[in-house]
Structure 1
């Protein structure tokens, strides 16, 4: 019961928060306007490059919020800012509606990157690598669902849902099937304060209490969620 404390407390706080209301965009117009986004995010919002986020199936309100943040400078990105500057609010709604209507693709089976191996130690066998990856994903699963009470790390499930489907009324993003590399970068940016455009800076408050291993574990786990 005590292990669920962080999940329950933050969920109760969110229950009293005010949701966001966004106008519906035109998906047909959004597809045309999103053509310039395909190079990084994929034609249907399923980026094949792990450093760029998948946008397919993401909540419209969340996408509009991020585009506005890029445009205003609230969220810093030398790549996205110039693109967002050329969009009016209707275009943002149309693009967001298009991506929200697409289906996010599943990721291939995860694998530990080669740079995780220590050159001074004997190479790990395939079985050792498999066991290490399974342990990492199990650690990420526990952190996602239960948090870490000793370090006051809140459970991800409270805001992002049991299946990482997010919270549409509150404009909390869906995370399932997102690239692990992108999630690691994003959580690290929240942890270091490089990104802060979220309500009451809650992600920084959570991220700064996470270890690098926590971030890696939960990112790998989320990337396997469907």
Structure 2
């Protein structure tokens, strides 16, 4: 019962977030994107995110199969300056609402690719060769911890369960513009959570993800990032 308390406690918060995002969602619905037009406009996105939204670079997010409502919201945030990113801010300045809707329609229609089994990067503090068996055991432990945190949260530190907003399979919540996380690059997920924790991601200290990430340890961030990357 206690394990599920954090997930259940988000019900009220979720209702508030839903109400606060409705104007954005309604605006997107009133301006339906054109996937074919979005494909034509996506050339400048391909260098970092891949032609079909499946980025080959682990620190750049996959956009494929992401909810169009979330993609539009993020493009708006980059353009308005409420989300910090030195690369994306200038890329969005010339985008119209129609451009954003078209790009979102295109990338959301593409299938996301599954990730290979995650592995630990080489240690920067040691020149010793990697002990493969030890590395596998460490990763096994991280995945187990990540699964527990994703589904149950951490009652002691009041870290909410990810499942409440992002779904049992990491599918997200389109009406609320909560992103799909499944099969995302682990490096990007870890970076995103780290940026939420430090405040580097946006200028809103009361943002729900900022508040959650600040309560997470670096080890928890790694664990849940690796675990989410395995979800399909």
Q: TM-score higher than 0.5 here? A: yes
Is it true that 1:80 corresponds to 2:88 in the alignment?
A: yes
Supply the distance in 1 between the matched residues of 2:78 and 2:192 (Cα, whole angstroms): 15
Q: Distance in 2 between matches of 1:112 and 1:158?
A: 28
Give how far 1:198 is off. 7.3
Query: Does residue 6 in structure 1 map to residue 3 in structure 2?
Result: no
Runs of 4+ with deviation above 4 angstroms: 197-200
Kept after mapping to 1: 8 A contact 2:68/2:104: yes
* Contact 1:69–1:197 (Cα < 8 Å) also in 2: no
1:113 to 100, 116, 121: 121
CA separation in 2, counterparts of 1:11 and 1:129? Answer: 38
Change (3 A) 1:42 1:198: farther
Deviation at 1:128, TM superposition (A): 1.5
- Give matches, 1:164-175, under 5 Å: 164-175=170-181
Identify if the C-alpha distance between structure 1 residues 197 and 92 changes in structure 2 by more than 3 Å, giving closer, same or farther: farther
CA contact under 8 A between 2:85 and 2:201: conserved in structure 1? no
Distance in 2 (alpha carbons) for counterparts of 1:194 and 1:179: 19
Aligned partners of 2:82, 2:12: CA distance in 1, in Å?
Answer: 28
Deviation at 1:3, TM superposition (A): 1.4
Distance in 2 between residues matched to 1:213 and 1:156, nearest whole Å: 16
TM-score (norm 1): 0.94
Q: Is 2:33 the counterpart of 1:25? A: yes
Are the aligned partners of 2:199 and 2:205 in contact in 1 as well (CA < 8 Å)?
no
Secondary structure of 2:56's aligned partner: coil
How many pairs align?
Answer: 224
Q: Aligned equivalents of 1:209 and 1:94: distance in 2?
A: 37
Q: Measure how far apart 1:210 and its partner are.
A: 0.2
CA RMSD of aligned residues (A): 1.7
User: Is residue 89 of structure 1 aligned with residue 92 of structure 2?
Assistant: no
